[in-house]
Amino acid sequence: SLLATELPSSESSTEVNLITADGISYPTLDSESETRTLLLLHGAYKNSQAWDSFKEIAQDEGYAVFTLDFRGHGQSEGEQVIVEAMDNDVDAALEWLEKSLTLSEKHIILMGESLGASLALRAGARHPEVPAVILLSPGMKLWEISIQEAIVNYGPRPLLLVAAEEDEYPAATVRQLDEKAQGPHQLLLFPGAWHGTELLNANPGLSFQIVNWLREL
């Protein structure tokens, strides 16, 4: 899978090819950034470009931003299918980041949209070092990918939940997660039926609400 990086200190970007569970290669990345890091996970049948507008805002606010193309999506190889093995894509990206970033950068916050939101919460549950997770339009179960156990295993870490009121399944999901969350969390519901990163485009202030939430962590 492909990891694209955006670094606020140098305003440069690079692309890193990752090979997941059955043999991962890790190029190195030199960065002088002292900021927190965001790993953005796109939804099904989309790619990392879904995050372009938010990525620019987050980078302007001083975040190192990384976007991942899941297997079979965007520039990544493989068949475009939705499987639990996509968890391996997130694990590979996190492992690469842990090995490549400086110590001051190892505060990797996960943010996902739609299927990527579900995968973000699952990864947060598996990786206790992840300090916070942001979910746009998650589903309690999408295809075979469930977050029923993940919300329990995620524990008391901060969680931001975002959905549109008329996007019925994600709206129901964030309400359930709001009830099940064990730590500090915030629920943002917007009018309309916008889904995933469409929420960011339809509600220009949302990106800045997210950045403000991150500042308070």
- The model's pLDDT over 53-66, given as tens digits with 9 standing for 90+, comes to 999 999 898 888 88
pLDDT of residue 47: 79
pLDDT of residue 110: 98
pLDDT of residue 82: 58
Question: Taking the complete model, does pTM exceed 0.75, yes or no?
Answer: yes
Domains for the chain: give ranges and CATH numbers: 2-156 (3.40.50.1820)
- The model's pLDDT over 117-140, given as tens digits with 9 standing for 90+, comes to 999 999 999 999 999 999 999 999
Average pLDDT over residues 25-36: 44
Report H helices in the chain: 52-60, 86-100, 115-126, 148-154, 168-180, 198-202, 204-215
CA 49 – CA 51 distance, rounded (Å)? 5
Alpha-carbon Rg for the chain in angstroms: 16
